Chain A
Amino acid sequence: MASVTAPAVQKPAFRSVGRSLLLTLPMALWAMVMFTPALRQPGRDGHIGAAAVAVFMTVLFYMMMRTGTTYRWRRIFFVALGFLFPVGFIASLIAVRGTMSIPIERMISGDTPYCFMVTPMVIVPAALFRTLIFPGSILPTPSNPHSIAAMIGLWLAVSLVVGKAWCSYGCFFGGIEEGFAAVAKRARLRRFVLHWGSRLRLTPWAILIFIVVLSAALMEPVYCAWLCPFKTITEYPAVRDVETAIQMAIFIMLFAGLVVALPFLTKKRTQCAFFCPFGAFQSLFNKINLFEIRFDREKCVDCTLCQTECPTIALSKESIREGKTLLNCMKCGACVDACKKDAAVWHIKGTRVGVKPERARLLFLYGGWAMATMFGGSILANSVTTMLGFLPWK
């Protein structure tokens, strides 16, 4: 359906406390539902962790409702998720295995936790050979509760509901670079982004093709074996020979360059924008997802502030002129919050642009934040519980 620009509607700058609380109530109840099982488990640390995260998520949602802005509150959660995920994950690896590295024999026995990044690589071999090329287990086992079936099911459900917003509300890896991007006060490599951004944003698609065809040819998840920067802070193959040493060197270089240095220098999520093949794959869900960001051309003055603020280079001058974002938009809300003319708006496909954008934002946020609470919140609660266990007086 063609979208027609509607008469201007003012975005509320602030809501009343009562109304904000009312709008937060469903999410508070959702958080309670999500964290009640943890409260039933024995152990005070677990209770404190679950309660703290339930309050944390509810307060952030309340602030979104109260202020009418999305980005900065989402970023607090997302950065916390990015930096706390490795804490809980590494602690559980060390508790179960005694080390972060995984020896080849344990890998073969299916003890590798399934990571959603593998998904695009397993599809072709599964279709052609009925073989899963990831050394995990389809159903949960005592030594590996992160089963393939559960992770794919969760990811698919979430992707259908929020599209590529998975990358800004669920991906714990993205939070790390967003954290490093937030550290610097200004972008030191601004010209690099301006000059190379439009070309490099297509690189993830090429990497996606590369890993998909090569994984099918070699019958192994090539990205995990050779290119994943996040192996550095999660689980890596035990270094026993030249090959694993090269793999480890690549992981560290990619992590240092794309996740730490470049985000700090450019204030962009460079790994997500220029490298992540899973992000490119996830972009396809934006095609079938209902929610999107649009630009009201009657209000837009082409100041390109939204383009400057976009952390993943999902806007170009041409796309803004057309009133749309690019396919790789992660719906983080940075452009909407930055726009001084209220031209960037949340939008539900099939409706008119600019008509009740706050309603579109609310509907999106209920889905997005529910996912964030369920998936990211449980990770946060686990990490907080782990950290409480390390307190010196315990």
Chain B
Amino acid sequence: MNLSRTGVVGFVIVVAVILQVAVFNLFSVNGVVPNLALVVVVAAAIARGPQFGAVVGFSAGLLLDLAPPADHVAGRWALALVLVAILAGRVRADARRSPIAGLATVAICSFIATSVFALSGVVLNDHALPDGEMMQVIGIALLWDVVVAPVILPGLMALFERTRPAELAY
């Protein structure tokens, strides 16, 4: 891929992660903030398919895992976001049919990503919460993501469409 296009995609990922950590804690509900990185990954997967989505998901996830103040085992968000990128990439033809379908995709992906992250924490015994609290966090996170998705998802999808390489890749 062309260097400047990669730069644009990388910039979007970095901005999403920094907004999530440094700005959105103003609006946090019980500490839960909108997962912008997740919306970026879902937009990438819907716009460009699972292959591109998985790469964006891995990069955004690893940045979330490594950027301060993250303290959990690295790779947990990367795994969660790669999995939702695969899912969103699989259903992308449906997800593009209507805004509601896109929103539903974000909701399902939010639920799955936070759940996968939580379960990996339970398996690794890394910052695991009691079940009740965990379900509450997953629920609030889903609501947040559904609230921010209509605002940023169309723009992000248009951006990823535009950064598609002009030449045929096959």
* A, B from the same assembly: no
